[in-house]
Amino acid sequence: MHSRLRIIQGDITRQQADAIVNAANSSLLGGGGVDGAIHRAAGPALLAECRQLAASRGGCPTGEAVLTGAGNLPARAVIHTVGPVWRGGGQGEAELLASAYNNSLRLAAEHRFATIAFPAISTGIYGYPKAAAAAIALRTISQFLQQHDYPQQVWLVCFDEESYRLYRQHSEQSDDVG
């Protein structure tokens, strides 16, 4: 039972966390899904900052993460990470998905953020099978929390009922989550 990990149902754009994580793409210039929702709610200041980052560092490779402000969102910061596109599982997808979680958590730890909220990275437009992705998310986050004091709390924010059910199931199996 990991008391620092919470599974909740809801909209990540409404979360008052120190950082919310965006399931972005390598261009950092916005898109659909949770990325579109975050940019709509944050307003133009976020896109302007992303454009600057895209120009200065050429975007964000798959598995890596970058930090920006949060515009009009109730969160303080947005961590943009890029999950893998599902291509059948033989293209390093599992490692890249774990890296996306780990690098986001590392940024939160560096900035001493108390709370970070994640969507189910790669499980929408990028097609990663939801059950396999849930297992990786829970395992990666649990391992990180065992080794670090920050972030103090991680929220897994499930937009859809299926993700919520899968996270609950996997957490009961691994007995890691409160």
Stretch near ligand AR6 under the rule CB under 6 A, chosen from 21-29, 60-68, 136-144, 170-178: 21-29
Long-range CB contacts for residues 142-145, cutoff 8 Å, separation at least 24: 142/2, 142/5, 142/174, 142/176, 142/177, 144/101, 144/102, 144/105, 145/2, 145/4, 145/5
| Residue 165 CB partners (closer than 8 Å, separation 6+) | none
Q: Quote the least distance from Cβ 100 to ligand AR6, whole Å.
A: 9
Active site residue 35: yes
Which residue among 96, 97, 121, 134 contacts ligand AR6 (CB under 6 A)? 121
Q: Which stretch binds ligand AR6 (CB under 6 A): 66-74, 91-99, 103-111, 115-123?
A: 115-123
Distance, C-alpha 169 to centroid of its chain: 20
Q: Are 4 and 149 in contact (CB under 8 A)?
A: no
Q: Which stretch binds ligand AR6 (CB under 6 A): 5-13, 50-58, 65-73, 145-153?
A: 5-13
Nearer to ligand AR6 among residue 23 and residue 108 (C-beta): 23
23 interacts with ligand AR6 by CB under 6 A: yes
178 binds ligand AR6 (CB under 6 A): no
Phi, psi of 170 (to 5 degrees): -65, -35
**Sign, Cα dihedral of 40, 78, 97, 142:** negative
62 binds ligand AR6 (CB under 6 A): no
Q: Considering the complex, what minimum distance in angstroms separates the CB of residue 26 from ligand AR6?
A: 8
- Active site positions, annotated: 35
